[in-house]
Amino acid sequence: MPRAKKNPDQSPEIKLEKKAKTKTKTTIKKTAPKKKARPVIIDVIEDGEAGGFFPEIEEAKEEPVVVEEEIKTPEIDQQKKFFSELKNEITEKKPLAFRKKSEYFPREDDTEPKVRKSVNLYRRLVWRFIIFTVVLLLIVFYFSFSKLDIIIFPKGEVINDSLLLKVSSTATTSEEADTDFREQVAGTVKETAVTEEKVFPATGEEFVGEELYGKVKIINNSNKAQALVATTRILSPDNKLFRIKSPVNVPAGGEVAVDIYTDKPSEEMAIAATTFTIPGLWLGLQDKIYAKSSEAFVYRQKVNRYIKASDIEQAMKEMNDLLLAKAKSSGSLAGAGDQVLYETLSPASFVASAKVGEAKENFTVTAKGNLVVVTFSKDQAAKLTAAKLALLVPDDKELVDYNQDNITYTFDNYDPKTGVATIKASFTGTMILKNNTEIIDKKKLVNLNRQQLENYLKTFPEIKNYEFKFFPSFINRAPRLPERIQVEINGLNK
C-alpha cells in the first residue's frame, strides 16, 4: 500500500510548537484588558505514523481545547462604527415618548454641554405640557361649571280706573240694559227729609281799645270786717298799681274774690301771681288786710264782634254735613255686606237768626233738606271692579296688591222720576311681570361683566331691583353660553 505523503506542517515538532504558542497567547489574553473576542475550536489531527516516532508525548492525544482568540479585523471595526453612528442618528430622531430611559440620560462618557442641553430641553417640554394641561382644564371648568343666576325684583305699576254702577229699586228691562253702559248692582234707593239746627260764633272783630283781665282775693286776718269801695287801689311789690272793679265787704278772718283793672293797660302790666298791699288802709292794718292773686293777669285788646258773610257761608256748608250725619245716625236698612251712600237731593234751606254785619257774639242757623239713601251690595260691586281691572292687565303681567276694601264709592247722579241712582266706584291695583315672562335676551348677557350687566338691566323700566349670583363666586363675568344663565322673577319683595 503506498505510503501517505507527509505534510510538513503536521510533524510532531511543529505541532508542539504551535501548541506552545497557543498556550502563550491564551495566557496573555487572560491577563490583558477585557476585549471582545470569540471562541475558536482547534482540532489537532494526529498522523497515523506519529505514534512510532514520538510515543512518549501524551499531549498530542488530548481532547480539543477551546481558547479565546482576539480577532482584529479592519472590516469588522468599520461595521461596528457604521452601526454605532446609525444607532445614534435613529435615537436623536426618535420621539421622546418612545425613547428608553438610557436614551433620556446620557452616558458618563458624553460631554457636559450635551447633557445640560438635553436636560433643559426635557424640562421645557415638561413645563409646557403642564401649562397646557392646566389651561385646558381651566377652559373645560369654565364652560362646564360657570353659572350666573339673576334674580329680578319687578317694579309694580299702579293702575287707576273707575266704574259706574247703577242701583235701582226696580228691575231693569232688556231694552234699557242694551243701551245702558252702567253695570247693574242689586240695592235700594230711598228718599228722606232731615232738619238740623246749630249755633255758630261770629268771627268779625272791631278794635275799640285795650284791657287787662285778672282776679285777686282780698284777705282779712283782723278781728273786724273791712269794707272796700270800687276802684280801691292795690299795689304790687314792683309798684304797679291796679284797682278793683266792684265794692266788697270782707268779713273778719275771711276772704273775697274780685276782678281788677288798670288805668293804663299794657303788656307790662300782665304780671305773674303775687301778693298786693292796699295803700288806702291804715298802715297798721296793711299786714293783716291785703290782696293775693293765684294766676297771672292777661293783657288783651278790647274788640266788638259782628257777623261776617263768610260766617253765614261756612255755617251753611257745615249744616249740609250735619244733615248727612243725622241721616246716617237715624239708621238704615243696610246689611252687613252692604254699602250705604247719602246725598242731598236739592240745596237745603237755611234760616239764620242774624244778618251780615250785625254786632253779635254768635248766631243760630236752621237747615232743612231732602236726602237720598242708596244701599247696594259691596261684594257684587267689588267683583265688577275686579273684572274690569283684569281687562287692563297685559298678558305678560299679573295683578297683585288689589284690595276691595280700598275701593272708593261716590254719589254720581240720581233720577227722581225713575228712582235710579248712579254710583262711581274708583279703584286701584298693582301689576307686575309674571314669573315666566322672558323680557331679557340671554344672548345679550353673554360674557358681560358685572357693571355691563347692571347697565343693561337699568334700561328696563319694569325692573325695580336685581341680584347676581355668580358661580364660582370669584368670577364676576357672565358665562359664554346662554344656557348657563338663569333669570328668575321674584315678586314684590324689594
For the chain, the domains span 8-72, 206-304
Least confident span in 172-176, 226-230, 268-272, 320-324? 172-176
Supply 128's cell numbers: 409646557
Average pLDDT over residues 340-348: 81
Q: Which residues pair with 65 in a beta bridge?
A: 42
**Distance set, CA 294 to CA 43, 260, 263 (Å):** 166, 13, 21
pLDDT at 179 over 60: yes
The average confidence (pLDDT) of the chain is 77
pLDDT given for residue 331 in this prediction: 57
- Give the Cα separation of 165 and 381 in Å (integer): 8
pLDDT given for residue 463 in this prediction: 86
- Give the Cα separation of 69 and 80 in Å (integer): 19
Q: Which residues of 121-134 are buried (b: 16+ CB within 10 A; e: fewer)?
A: eeeeeeeeeeeeee
pLDDT at 78 over 50: yes
Sign of CA dihedral 427, 430, 434, 439: positive
Supply 18's cell numbers: 504551535
Average pLDDT over residues 39-65: 47
- Classify residue 146 by its DSSP letter: -
Per the omega criterion (within 30 degrees of 0), is the bond before 416 cis? no
Nearest residue to 430 (alpha-carbon basis) of 379, 467, 464: 464
pLDDT given for residue 61 in this prediction: 44
The answer to whether 292 and 219 are in contact (CB under 8 A) is yes
Nearest residue to 452 (alpha-carbon basis) of 140, 155, 153, 150: 150
**Confidence band for 33, pLDDT divided at 50, 70 and 90:** very low
Least confident span in 6-15, 71-80, 132-141, 306-315? 6-15
**Distance set, CA 64 to CA 30, 46, 204, 251, 487 (Å):** 19, 12, 166, 181, 99
Percent of the chain surpassing pLDDT 70: 73
Supply 433's cell numbers: 311681570
DSSP 3-state of 330: coil
Tens of pLDDT, residue by residue over 227-243, are 999 999 999 999 999 99
pLDDT given for residue 76 in this prediction: 61
Average pLDDT over residues 134-146: 72
pLDDT given for residue 32 in this prediction: 44
The answer to whether 400 and 156 are in contact (CB under 8 A) is yes
pLDDT given for residue 178 in this prediction: 56
Largest CA distance in the chain: 214
pLDDT given for residue 369 in this prediction: 85
Q: Comparing 103 with 452, which gets the higher pLDDT?
A: 452
Q: Which residues contact 200 (CB under 8 A, 6 or more apart)?
A: 311, 314, 315, 318, 362, 363, 364, 365
Q: Which residues of 7-20 are buried (b: 16+ CB within 10 A; e: fewer)?
A: eeeeeeeebeeebe
Nearest residue to 274 (alpha-carbon basis) of 294, 290, 256: 294
pLDDT at 263 over 80: yes
Tens of pLDDT, residue by residue over 423-470, are 999 999 888 888 777 788 888 888 899 999 999 999 988 888 889 998
- Give the Cα separation of 147 and 145 in Å (integer): 6
Per the omega criterion (within 30 degrees of 0), is the bond before 479 cis? no
Supply 480's cell numbers: 359664554
- Give the Cα separation of 428 and 422 in Å (integer): 20
Distance between start and end Cα atoms, the chain: 137
Neighbours of 105 (CB within 10 A): 13
The answer to whether 446 and 481 are in contact (CB under 8 A) is yes
Q: Comparing 48 with 418, which gets the higher pLDDT?
A: 418
Average pLDDT over residues 104-128: 67
- Give the Cα separation of 359 and 93 in Å (integer): 130
pLDDT given for residue 451 in this prediction: 92
**Angle subtended at Cα 310 by Cα 327 and Cα 410, rounded to the nearest 5 degrees:** 35
**Distance set, CA 121 to CA 111, 168, 426 (Å):** 16, 103, 86
- Give the Cα separation of 147 and 483 in Å (integer): 9
How far is residue 186 CA from its own chain's centroid? 46
Least confident span in 73-77, 213-217, 288-292? 73-77
CATH topology assigned to domain 206-304: Elongation Factor Tu (Ef-tu); domain 3 (2.40.30)
